[in-house]
């Protein structure tokens, strides 16, 4: 455990970038061996589009890095935050810290984005992908990346997490997002077992179905039990019925071009009849 702490205390930006790229390449390769769906698309072009949004996400995170480090230093060294209320073993400290950061920095902001109309319009960019694979993980409008960075900061202040724990969380958050978005087919029994603790590919793909109510389920990123606790978990026995995308933006000229995607939040919202925000 001490080696992990030391590594993430002293990790360099280039190492973090190498982890990001390495994860994409690894799961991209696995997708070619055990795909969940035989998606018919230009994989390189699709990756290029999503990597543009990955780059904007990286830039936003770098812009917020100083604020997050400042919040961590202030709370941790003054023994503020939930993690610093009582002494505990390092393994428990790490686990509870990851849980708090994941709950607030990932699950909660994701749930809010699905409930608040103007935030949902930015989050739509992520859901417009009709060919969900590992590159979809960081397909976020730059403004949505700001939402997520702000909630990460809030999670840091509430938890009082030290910087090594924050970097460990961010590494795992990216890795798990790449994993559960990846177009890979695990044995059903194994995927179901994983879904009791962590977000598996089979669990998260339900969230990317193009229609409600499935779109508004399975919000988790690392830990799956948040959805079970808050009543947003759905198990789908037959994933073959899934169709990716979002029903209001199914045309390729809208969901497969950078300019049009960036414009979505600023245009008129077009909900299907009976869908949320339709009034």
Spatial CA neighbour of 113 closest among 137, 138, 132, 141: 141
Could you tell me the sign of the dihedral formed by the alpha carbons of 158, 86, 230, 170, in that order? positive
Number of domains in the chain: 1
Q: Over the stretch 64-94, which tens digit does the pLDDT of each residue have?
A: 999 999 999 999 889 899 999 998 999 999 9
**Is 70 among the domain residues?**
yes
**Is 279 among the domain residues?**
no
Q: Which comes out higher in pLDDT, residue 81 or 240?
A: 81
**Is 99 among the domain residues?**
yes
pLDDT, averaged across the chain: 92
Range of the domain at 63: 2-266
**Is 277 among the domain residues?**
no
Tokens of 103: 């709950």
Q: How many residues does the chain have?
A: 279
Q: Over the stretch 90-125, which tens digit does the pLDDT of each residue have?
A: 999 999 999 999 999 999 999 999 999 999 999 999
**Is 152 among the domain residues?**
yes
**Is 276 among the domain residues?**
no
Burial of 187 (0-12, 13-18, 19+ CB in 10 A): exposed
Tokens of 164: 């090594």
**Is 168 among the domain residues?**
yes
pLDDT-derived band at 241 (thresholds 50, 70, 90) equals: confident
**Is 129 among the domain residues?**
yes
Spatial CA neighbour of 179 closest among 208, 235, 129, 137: 137
Q: Is the pLDDT of residue 129 over 80?
A: yes
DSSP character string of the chain: -HHHHHHHHS--HHHHHHHHHHHHHHHHHHHHHS-SS---S-HHHHHHHHHHHHHHHHHHHHHHHHHHHHHHHHHHHTT-SGGGSS---HHHHHHHHHHHHHIIIIIIHHHHHHHSHHHHHHHHHHHT-SS--GGGGG---HHHHHHHHHHHHHHHHHHT--HHHHHHHHHHHHHHHHHHHS-----HHHHHHHTTTB--HHHHHHHTBSSTTGGGS---SSBTHHHHHTT-----S-GGG--BS-TT---HHHHS-HHHHHHGGGS---PPTTSTT--
CA–CA separation, 174 vs 182, rounded Å?
12
Query: pLDDT value at position 279?
Result: 65
pTM of the model: 0.94
Query: pLDDT value at position 38?
Result: 84
CA–CA separation, 168 vs 161, rounded Å?
11
Contact at 8 Å (CB) between 153 and 68?
Answer: yes
């Amino acid at each position: 455990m001490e080696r992990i702490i030391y590594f993430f205390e002293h990790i360099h930006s280039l190492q973090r970038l190498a982890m990001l790229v390495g994860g994409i390449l690894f799961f991209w390769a696995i997708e070619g061996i055990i795909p969940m769906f035989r998606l018919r698309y230009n994989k390189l072009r699709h990756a290029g589009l999503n990597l543009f949004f990955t780059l904007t996400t990286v830039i936003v995170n770098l812009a917020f890095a100083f604020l997050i480090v400042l919040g961590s230093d202030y709370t941790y060294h003054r023994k503020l935050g939930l993690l610093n209320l009582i002494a505990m073993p390092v393994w428990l400290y790490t686990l509870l810290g990851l849980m708090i950061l994941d709950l607030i920095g990932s699950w909660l902001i994701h749930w809010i984005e699905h409930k608040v109309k103007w935030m949902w319009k930015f989050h739509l960019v992520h859901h417009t992908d009709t060919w969900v694979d590992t590159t979809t993980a960081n397909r976020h409008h730059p403004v949505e990346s700001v939402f997520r960075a702000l909630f990460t900061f809030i999670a840091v202040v509430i938890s009082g997490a030290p910087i090594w724990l924050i970097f460990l969380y961010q590494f795992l958050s990216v890795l798990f997002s790449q994993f559960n978005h990846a177009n890979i087919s695990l044995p059903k029994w194994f995927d179901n077992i994983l879904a009791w603790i962590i977000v598996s590919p089979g669990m998260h793909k339900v969230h990317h179905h193009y229609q409600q109510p499935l779109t508004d389920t399975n919000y988790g990123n690392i830990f799956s039990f948040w959805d079970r606790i808050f009543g947003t978990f759905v198990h789908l026995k037959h994933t073959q019925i899934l169709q990716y995308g979002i029903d209001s933006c199914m045309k390729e000229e809208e969901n497969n071009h950078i300019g049009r995607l960036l414009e979505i939040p600023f245009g008129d919202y077009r909900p299907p009849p009976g869908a949320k925000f339709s009034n």
